[in-house]
Structure formats: C-alpha cells, structure tokens
Amino acid sequence: MKRFENKVVVITGGGSGMGKLSCEMFAAEGASVGVVDINEVTAQATVDNILAAGGRAKAYAMDITNEDAVKEMFADVVKTFGRLDVYFTIAGISPMGTAVTTTYEDYKRVVALDMDSVFLGCKYSIPYMEQQGGGVILNLVGTYGIRPTPNKLGYSAAKAGALAITRSVAIDFARSNIRCNAICPGFVNTPLNKGFEGEARARFLRTYQPAPFEIQAKDIADTALFLASDEARAITGQAIVVDGGTEASLYLNYKRPE
C-alpha cells in the first residue's frame, strides 16, 4: 500500500519548483492533492500531470494572504475529497534588503506572504484535522529563520515568525494528534533562486556548504513525505534543516578542502 493512500494533501506554491515536485510525489504515493498557486496556468499544469499519471488533484488559483480565499479553499478541499490530512506551505518570496534599504511596503509584503499566510493556513486547516482525529502541517521556513544572513531582514524576520507559529501550533495541538514541523532548506536549485548561478553559486558551494553537491527540490520533497508519514509520528515542533551542513558549520568561515 502506498504511504498516502486515501489521504488528502494541500500544497501551496504547487505550480513550480519544489511545490510542483512535492505535489507530484505525494500524488505518486497515493494522495489526493489540492494544488494551490497564485498562477492559475501553472497550478492547472501540475494537476494535469497528476491526472495523466492516474492520480487525483484539483487546482486552486488564489492569494494565500487572502483570509476568505484560504477559508473557502479548505472548505472546498474537504467537500471535494472528503478530508484533509496534510497541509504543506511552500509559496513565498525572498527579497533583499536591510532595515534601511527595505521599504515598509516591501517589509509588509514579505511578512504577509511568508508569515501571515502560515498563520492563516494553520487557523483554517486545524479545525478539519481536529474533526477527523489528527493531521500534519509542514511549513517551509528556511535556515534564515534560524540564523539571519546579511541583507535579508524582511525575509529573515518573516521566516523566524513562521517558525514560532510552527512551534506554537505543535504544542497547542499535540493532544489533538496534529503534528506541525518546519522544513528549513539551505540553497536549493529551484526557480526561486534564479539569477544565483554561475560563479556566484559555485563560490557559495565551495565556501559555505560542506556537502559537495547541489541540494535539489527532490531532497526537500523527500523530507516532506517522511515528516508527513506515520514514520515521523514522534516528530513535532521541530525545525528540520536540509542544507548540506551549512547552518551547522562556522558560517562565513568554513572552506572545504580542494
């Protein structure tokens, strides 16, 4: 039997990158998937791929910072598929800026998309999970939510807040059999990092990341599948770092021997 047979999974950012791959991998393991993305075309393309492979899926083109839209999406998922077992938040933005160079408008935008949307997703998914006796919430936080890096104030602040929400949900709803964990990728080769290529990427891998390979979207999706499965039933309230050892090392001082 597949790991997520008869389970229902909702994933934001499902139209591209690790979100798209995660949707397809959960579907391959038997899950019915709600594919959420701001882009209707890419969300539907992911759904089409899942349907073509014999799976079940439905697209939701929406703004995950819109409270009414989030509430209506979960209601429709449960109406369509009958339940809600896993909610995985991936969608987000990663702007540059310090406390001086970041505009207040940009700060509010990254907080809304990278932190407030996590709150809304938890708020409106948890009641359905409670009704059926449990569920799993996974939030993509990133290592900057643990240890900020220069010129990333808004993103680091929003992700730190998302991690705090994750831990609060874990302790508040553990007795309801709801687990909540954060996945914290380092540098991953996805569309979000487009532009960070060539020598800049090679220099990062040589200087800062101990593992001698590029982390791929599949590494993150594999982590999500494990954390959402019954094999991880004792893991909740944790920040699971998937970064090739970068956060654990002496950041900005580590250099791999040639």
Residues annotated as catalytic (active site), given as ranges: 155
Helices (H), the chain: 17-28, 40-52, 67-81, 104-111, 117-132, 153-173, 198-207, 217-228
**φ and ψ at residue 57, rounded to 5 degrees:** -165, 160
> CA–CA distance from 117 to each of 39, 100, 170 (Å)?
16, 25, 17
**Strand pairing class (32-37; 8-12):** parallel
Please answer whether residues 169 and 181 qualify as being in contact, where contact means their C-beta atoms are separated by less than 8 angstroms. no
